[in-house]
Amino acid sequence: MAITKAAQKAQRQNKRRHYRNLQKTGKLKDLIKKVKNLISQKKTEEARNLLAQVYKLLDKAAKKGLIKKNAASRKKSRITRMISKAG
Protein backbone atom coordinates (compact mmCIF):
# COMPACT_ATOMS: atom_id res chain seq x y z
CA MET A 1 0.00 0.00 0.00
CA ALA A 2 1.37 3.37 -1.02
CA ILE A 3 1.97 5.74 1.88
CA THR A 4 3.02 9.11 0.48
CA LYS A 5 0.74 11.23 -1.68
CA ALA A 6 3.17 11.02 -4.57
CA ALA A 7 3.20 7.21 -4.37
CA GLN A 8 -0.60 7.13 -4.26
CA LYS A 9 -0.79 9.34 -7.35
CA ALA A 10 1.77 7.16 -9.13
CA GLN A 11 -0.35 4.12 -8.30
CA ARG A 12 -3.45 5.76 -9.81
CA GLN A 13 -1.53 6.74 -12.94
CA ASN A 14 -0.11 3.26 -13.25
CA LYS A 15 -3.57 1.72 -13.06
CA ARG A 16 -4.90 4.03 -15.81
CA ARG A 17 -1.91 3.36 -18.04
CA HIS A 18 -2.16 -0.37 -17.47
CA TYR A 19 -5.84 -0.36 -18.50
CA ARG A 20 -5.06 1.73 -21.60
CA ASN A 21 -2.19 -0.59 -22.58
CA LEU A 22 -4.42 -3.65 -22.15
CA GLN A 23 -6.97 -2.13 -24.50
CA LYS A 24 -4.37 -1.33 -27.13
CA THR A 25 -2.67 -4.72 -26.99
CA GLY A 26 -6.05 -6.44 -27.14
CA LYS A 27 -7.04 -4.45 -30.20
CA LEU A 28 -3.74 -5.24 -31.86
CA LYS A 29 -4.00 -8.97 -31.13
CA ASP A 30 -7.59 -9.10 -32.35
CA LEU A 31 -6.68 -7.45 -35.65
CA ILE A 32 -3.73 -9.79 -36.20
CA LYS A 33 -5.95 -12.81 -35.45
CA LYS A 34 -8.53 -11.49 -37.89
CA VAL A 35 -5.91 -11.22 -40.65
CA LYS A 36 -4.58 -14.72 -39.91
CA ASN A 37 -8.12 -16.14 -40.04
CA LEU A 38 -8.73 -14.45 -43.39
CA ILE A 39 -5.49 -15.93 -44.71
CA SER A 40 -6.45 -19.42 -43.54
CA GLN A 41 -9.84 -19.01 -45.27
CA LYS A 42 -8.02 -18.04 -48.50
CA LYS A 43 -9.50 -14.52 -48.45
CA THR A 44 -6.21 -12.82 -49.27
CA GLU A 45 -7.77 -9.71 -50.80
CA GLU A 46 -9.62 -8.89 -47.57
CA ALA A 47 -6.44 -9.59 -45.59
CA ARG A 48 -4.53 -7.16 -47.82
CA ASN A 49 -7.14 -4.50 -47.10
CA LEU A 50 -6.58 -4.92 -43.34
CA LEU A 51 -2.80 -4.83 -43.74
CA ALA A 52 -2.62 -1.03 -43.60
CA GLN A 53 -4.51 -1.00 -40.30
CA VAL A 54 -2.19 -3.66 -38.87
CA TYR A 55 0.87 -1.65 -39.92
CA LYS A 56 -0.56 1.51 -38.38
CA LEU A 57 -1.35 -0.14 -35.04
CA LEU A 58 2.01 -1.90 -34.87
CA ASP A 59 3.90 1.31 -35.63
CA LYS A 60 1.95 3.25 -33.03
CA ALA A 61 2.47 0.53 -30.43
CA ALA A 62 6.21 0.56 -31.12
CA LYS A 63 6.34 4.34 -30.96
CA LYS A 64 4.57 4.41 -27.60
CA GLY A 65 6.75 1.62 -26.18
CA LEU A 66 3.96 -0.91 -25.96
CA ILE A 67 6.06 -3.35 -27.97
CA LYS A 68 9.65 -3.05 -29.15
CA LYS A 69 10.53 -1.66 -32.55
CA ASN A 70 12.02 -4.90 -33.84
CA ALA A 71 9.04 -6.89 -32.59
CA ALA A 72 6.71 -4.64 -34.59
CA SER A 73 8.95 -4.99 -37.62
CA ARG A 74 9.05 -8.78 -37.25
CA LYS A 75 5.26 -9.02 -36.95
CA LYS A 76 4.74 -6.84 -40.03
CA SER A 77 7.19 -8.91 -42.01
CA ARG A 78 5.64 -12.23 -41.04
CA ILE A 79 2.08 -11.13 -41.75
CA THR A 80 3.08 -9.74 -45.14
CA ARG A 81 4.93 -12.94 -45.96
CA MET A 82 1.90 -15.03 -44.98
CA ILE A 83 -0.36 -12.99 -47.25
CA SER A 84 2.01 -13.19 -50.20
CA LYS A 85 2.39 -16.97 -49.79
CA ALA A 86 -1.38 -17.44 -49.61
CA GLY A 87 -2.18 -15.29 -52.61
Q: Which CATH number fits domain 5-86: 3.30.56.10, 3.10.620.30, 1.20.58.110, 3.60.20.10?
A: 1.20.58.110
For 69-80, letters b (16+ CB in 10 Å) and e give eeebeebbeebe
Print pLDDT tens along the chain (87 aa): 889 999 999 999 999 999 999 999 999 999 999 999 999 999 999 999 999 999 999 999 999 999 999 999 999 999 999 999 987
Domain boundaries, the chain: 5-86
